[in-house]
Amino acid sequence: MNKGVSESLSFVAELRAAIHPNDKVEVLACPPFVALSAAKYALAGSAIKLGAQNCHPEAKGAFTGEVSVSMLPELVEYVILGHSERRAIFGEKDDFINKKVHAVLAAGLKPILCVGETLAENEAGQTEAVLERQIKAGLQGVSAEQIAKVVIAYEPVWAIGTGRAATSADAQNRCAFIRGELRKLYGALADEVRIQYGGSVTAANAKEILSQPDIDGALVGGASLKTADFKAIVEAA
């Protein structure tokens, strides 16, 4: 929840001037809903793509204050779903997030499904059980034809906004576990699924994290609010 319309426009202009994605790196910006339309026009002709931070699964109806998935295809290509803050603060459960995944896919958009354990779950040795549950429930009913359009973002809750990132080895192990779970569900198609790491990714640690074999990208939080830092992360990728 950062940057209003004018701030977002200024920031997008900075990004467009500083970052020039090539065919090896895809760059996605996810402004607040109020700034999406303005950002789309500001990025017209740019290789930087747009995503939404969330959506409601219903196309329309009595859900005052929500943004439906049907409102987004004119604006974005991706939608972030199941972010730890949506789960922890707003009480979103796996089955509700699964409805969003299906709605996003049906709308022709690409879901970024976030999964990850809390500090208590991590310390209790429950990380893999949590990831298995969130993967299976979040992807319930997603077909083999659809899975290549899904991005999985591993974000350990204890590492988000704390400055405490998982070690590159731990991040790799968790992302490899996620790919193993995908392989159980989808076979060799698991290798086509992009798996990101999110959780205090910075300009300083991005290269080491992104060099891991099962980490295909980064879901960047605080560091994405500073053009120079975000540019360095893109260059590391």
Which active-site residues does the annotation give?
83, 155
The identity of residue 202, as a single letter, is: T
Among 81, 85, 86, which residue's Cα sits nearest to residue 110? 81
Show the DSSP H helices in 25-118 as ranges.
33-42, 84-88, 94-106
User: 50 forms bridges with which residues in the sheet?
Assistant: 29
Give the span between the Cα atoms of 141 and 139, in whole angstroms. 6
Record the tokens describing residue 125, joined without a space. Answer: 């040795």
Give the span between the Cα atoms of 199 and 205, in whole angstroms. 11
The residue to which tokens 């747009």 are assigned: 50
Among 48, 41, 59, 39, which residue's Cα sits nearest to residue 17? 48
Residue 172 contacts by C-beta under 8 Å, 6 or more apart in sequence?
Answer: 212, 213, 214, 215
Give the span between the Cα atoms of 153 and 83, in whole angstroms. 9
